[in-house]
Structure formats: C-alpha cells, structure tokens
Amino acid sequence: MIWDNATVMRMLRNESYMGTYVYHKYEQTAVGGGAKKVLDPEKWKRVPNNHPAIISDADFEWVQNRLAQNKKHGFRKPVHPLSRKVECGLCHHNMRHESSGYPKFTCAHMYLDKGNWHERNNIRDKDLEPIVLAAIQKQLDLRVSSAEICEERRQVQQEKVDAAENRLRDMRLSLERLHGDQMEEFEAYKDGTTDKETFLQQKTLYDQLEIKLNEGIQKQTVVVKALDKELDAMP
C-alpha cells in the first residue's frame, strides 16, 4: 500500500488512534434531504477510552500542536528539485510532479489542450533519477576534460612567454656587452693603442649594431606584452 500525503494527514488527525470514538461529524442541511455539511470539530461527539489506544493522549496532542505550528508559519509542500525542468518528449511542455502513489512526473498538457492530445506520458522518480545523475556526471566529466585542456593551453602559452622573455633578456645582454666593447675601444684610443681612423671605423660599426639591437629590443618587448596579455585572458 502506498500512502500519499492526504492519507498520512488524515491519520495524524484521527482521534481513533488514542482510543476515542468520534461520531456526529456531519449534519443534514435540510430536513429529508441527502445533503450534509461537515461540522466544526468542537461540535463532534466523542466517547473517550472506547477501544484500546495505540498512541498516548500526550503524543496525539504534540502532533496536533506541531501541525498547527506548520499551518501558522505557512508550511508549504516541498518542491521537487526537478520541477519545471522535465519536458515531455511528445509535446515538449513542462511535466508536472506528482508525489501521490508512485512519485513521478507526468504530462498534464494532454488534458489541458484537447487539440494536441497525445498518449499518456509519465516517468517515475526512481527511473528519472539515474538518467539525471548520469547527465550530471557527464557534465562534470566534460568540465574536468575542459579544465585539463585549458591547463594544457596555458602551459603552452606560458612556454611561449618564457621563450620570448629569454630572447628579450639575451638581446639586452648583447646590448650591455656592446656598450662594454665600445668603452674598451674608447680606452684603447685614449691610451694610443688604437689610432683615430680605426677607432672611428669601430665606432661607426658599434653605433649601427646598437641601433639594430635597440630596434630589436623594442619589437621583442611588444611581443612579450602581447603574449602576456593572451595568457591573462585564458580561462
């Protein structure tokens, strides 16, 4: 037997479980008529200790107080995590979750739109959950795979940045050595070891090399900054 929420609620409010016989719950609305109305619980007739109780008066009272508190604080029926996320494969409308009987999602659109009627379509929670879990696992696997691919790309990009920075460092070292050679040539000229004509020829050559090195350093600096920017923009 499957107990739905309404059945459980009736059981929780049933005074018979504490040994009380309850009668005169209804009253005819007209003499000789069959129509009846439900009376307020205060007007019901009760016979305490009519039969053996299966719960104590204290437990029954505690349950009633708890139900009253839930009603007072606006207790709401829990919403299924997949509500408004399950779509009918026949009409593509959202499926409604039903908790009574075997909990399941069912398509109510077949009842609402007579012009687009289709066969009854539903899926039980126990059948849907493995499908959803498999889909979630697949997405997690894709995320892990994507993360690994992104990390590999970052590593490749980092290697490009490192290589470009090493190239820039070598070019700056070459410029420093060139300045050192220029200073040595000048000292040799001052000491008279090198004549003026040779010194001027060497100076012209060094000046040309310095211009080329500075141009190369400027271009390589731009390359390093561009590679760094690409690396920062990567996920």
Residue in the block written with tokens 């009736």: 10
* DSSP symbol at 193: S
Burial of residue 88 (CB within 10 Å: 0-12, 13-18, 19+) is: buried
Q: For 200-233, what is the HEC assignment? A: HHHHHHHHHHHHHHHHHHHHHHHHHHHHHHHHHH
Give the side-chain half-sphere CA count within 13 A for 31: 0
Is the separation of the CB atoms in 174 and 212 below 8 Å? no
The dihedrals phi and psi of 21, each to the nearest 5 degrees, come to -95, 125
Q: Which residues of the chain have pLDDT under 50?
A: none
Residues 25, 31: Cα–Cα separation, whole Å: 17
Nearest to 183 by CA among 201, 197, 169, 203: 203
Say what the pLDDT of residue 164 is: 93
Own/partner contacts of 220-223, CB < 8 Å, gap of 24 or more, are 220/164, 220/167, 220/168, 220/171, 221/168, 223/164, 223/168
Q: Identify the H or E element spanning 23.
A: strand 21-23
Say what the pLDDT of residue 153 is: 85
Tokens representing 32 are: 């000789």
Nearest to 122 by CA among 139, 147, 101, 141: 101
pTM of the complete model: 0.42
Say what the pLDDT of residue 175 is: 92
Say what the pLDDT of residue 214 is: 93
Say what the pLDDT of residue 166 is: 93
